[in-house]
Amino acid sequence: MIRSHFVHSYIVVQVEHPNTDHTVYKVAVTAKNEVPDFGPPLPDPAIFQKGAEFRDWLLMKALNAEFNCHHASSFKKLAVSGQIFSVTLFRPDTWNLWPTAKSGLCE
């Protein structure tokens, strides 16, 4: 199992019969429970022929995954935390808001 505080969804693509006229891609998609479902739907079986239709499907799936991950509560907390830290780097008057800023990191 892969654990990450930042990555909330995975799209796994496996190629079969590469560099032939019979190239196909098997796809699996998973996301943390707090990430809302996102489309386009995964067909059953999740096997795609090589071509523009698969490329467009994969691009849309990846974009929707990223968009929906931003709605996950843990991702929102990390994003806000990162934004606060960025502000403290540029505004010394706010360094007292961030514990690591006082440790000399921002000096």
Using DSSP's 3-state secondary structure scheme, residue 7 falls into coil
Other beta carbons less than 10 A from residue 54's beta carbon: 17
Nearest to 72 by CA among 3, 1, 5, 2: 5
pTM for this predicted structure: 0.64
10-residue block means of pLDDT along the chain (107 residues)?
Answer: 66 95 95 84 95 94 85 68 64 60 44
Nearest to 51 by CA among 8, 11, 21, 27: 21
Asked if the bond preceding 18 is cis, omega within 30° of 0, the reply is no
